[in-house]
Structure 1
Amino acid sequence: MLLPQEIIAKKRDGEVLKQDEIKFFVDGLVSNNFNDAQVGAMAMAIFQKGLVPQETVELTKAMMHSGEVLSWQDLDGPVIDKHSTGGVGDKVSFMLAAIVAACGGYVPMISGRGLGHTGGTADKLESIAGFNVQPNLSDFKRIVADLGVAIISQTPDLAPADRRLYAIRDVTATVASIPLITASILSKKLAAGLDVLVMDIKMGNGAQMEDLAQAKALANSITTVANGAGVNTQAIITDMNQVLGSTAGNALEMYETVKYLTGKLREPRLHQVVVTLAKAMLINGKLANSDNEAQVKIDHALDSGKAAEIFAKMISALGGPTDLLEQPWRSMNKAAHIIEILSPCNGYIKGMQTRDIGFSVVGLGGGRISNDQKIDHSVGFDRILPIGTRVNRGDVIARVHSNSLDSGELASKQYIDAVSFSDTPVDDPQIIY
């Protein structure tokens, strides 16, 4: 008979686990035969010793089959999804899913919660009063079929083993493990029954992967496992050396999403990432034959208002308001205090410690320190100026939204500490690597 401690010890000592041992661990995640301490120890052993490719494949498949696996035979278009490895201010999924649905794709997006300093797509959606991130699977499938898109959080039925492991990784400093990231992402995505997956691998000081070598290793791991499982998968490496867009924080990012979809504000770096990923999704899904054709379709989806309309319908179909685009703050909470963060000098914004800014949002209450913590959706930063911007002493470089003056003043100081300045002009960082 297998015992949890024997399997933990085997991986701790760097041995290769057999298929039945990996399945025993995954079954134990669902049945609680592995208690939280043992799951944490196993995650740390994998973090320290790694997995060989075959172990990663077996872990992914076992987690995928730990719950229901969806199928979409009745749809008249490709089933396409995108997943980001996470960053600060990354609200790309909302615009992207709506654009691809407006172009004829079907996007059943099962999203995650915040992990460490990175925000979670599901948490952002829960900023909106009434929005249900956990519909039953029949409602989820119906909304995807009707509108072309539904963005929900992981349901109890899909990859339940990952749901538990994900929460424990978050609070045991074992998030940034390539095998665990690969298995976590793909177990959910493969269970969603996809034809095509596009991965947005974030790279930089606000990402799990801080350098290009790590990012490429993760991209190779994910594309190898996913393509091997029969899902046409492409990975694109994008920048996370500064906050993406002009906001970081749950409701603030939903507000930026509304402004993007309605054409009021499309921050250029955010727009470049959205368009690059949308093109890959349309081309891999055979909804466009070339970059140019994909660009025309994306422009039409945005300019005609069709993407915005689909997004608004999805919000109301999942229990949110019918007027999010017209009156976003009617159904989202605003923070009590807004504090302007002023440049301490003349010069150019040279760099950002993006991870620190993410942790400032967590410190304000906008993320989790323990996995059962409630989130304050109203807090965060907005009007964030990008790297390369020329500023004078006293200019507003961002604003902090907080529900206490003390936490707001602390976050303002942390933000200043996280930004560096230069006397001379700074080149715009690369966005797509």
Structure 2
Amino acid sequence: MQDKDNPGSAEAGRFALVSIRLPVALTFAALIIGLVAGIAGAALGAPAWASELAALIGGLWLRALQMTIIPLVAALLVLGLVQMILAARVGTVARRMLLIMIAVQLGGGAFTSLAMPALLDAFPVPEGAGAFLAQTPANVGAVPGVLDFMASLVSPNIFAAAAETAMLPLTLFFVMFAVAITRLPADQSDRLLGFFHALGNVMLLIIGWVLAIAPVGVFALAFGVGVQSGGGAFTALGHYVLSVTAMGTFILVLAYAIAAGLGRTGLMRFAGAVLPAQAVALSTQSSLASLPAMLDSAGRLGLKVSTAEFVLPLAVVIFRATSSAMNLAVVYYIAALAGIEVPFAIAVAGILIASIISLSAVSLPGSISFVVSIGPIALAMGIPVEPLALLVAVEMLPDLMRTLGNVTMNVAVTSAVDRAVSESHQAA
């Protein structure tokens, strides 16, 4: 999840997408009830047709969820990247802010790519967790070799690439497409952006309808997992939550380092100033709701009002500091479930895709952004996406770290940008 809500700024208003509310708590309850029902069914000798019916319902819901990923990602990539390019044109402050954001996303992804496999080696996935792959087709999960990876970067047929869910060439194509849109005359770029805006809204409505019945689909999938894994499913979910949250903790610590190093702010002073914003973040799980508190934290640090009022709202719109690190953590966890080792070249591709998706993501409800942000990374790396349908139900717990890390990093980046602007003015 990428926070419950992230608004569009005045500059990004024309990229705003439809708002959808999802039954997060009910979906989580359906996961727990489904697992318990599956465990009880296995113990009591439930008839085979019960598991088969649950697999059918869960499989249909899962496929309905998957069918929206490619068109929605295409629309969001174009809209988000154009929004970021336009923001970079605003001036020096925006460009410095974007450079720090890009560095944070790449650094977070690189850290996870090194730390997550090591963490899972030290604390392996619990036995029985493989049941989360029950809906995965047998031919999914083959990681391409280095030469195959290099050859797959460019597709001669973008429609064939979409049909094959080949995320690497699709991402590269839509990045170039977004850059090209910004070079067109205003009337032509507006027409193209209007098309992608409408496409994004249509896909969001469809995925919203699919996720509205998430409790039913998650219950059905969880029932099958409970039948196969027993009580080990709960242990696996706890292990997953702690592992993914640990990668988000790195971003939280990095925020303090940026505030101290680039912002030249004392650690204790920064910690005290950002504490009220962190309290709001944990209580609301929303960067938007934390914005007034972040502005107050900037004031406590003595940052320029003009810098804070520009950087913080824009950061809430286009910057989710924990996304690259924590999204990749989910993918690496699924890879561990499937027994897949990720080669170096594929890991680098995952870092780049995760960073691009994170930086180009526009405002989305959390459950949608979880699927849309992580699905393309997994597809690009050859990792099964099917477990996302169940893991989305417990993402409300790692989301606490996501929001905490995002809010803390937003204030840290503001302090770094303010320091850089002040030094440039002094040098001039």
Higher strand share: 1
Q: Same fold (TM over 0.5)?
A: no
Larger RCO, structures 1/2 (Cα 8 Å, 6+ apart): 2
User: Which structure is higher in helix share?
Assistant: 2
TM-score, normalization by structure 1: 0.24
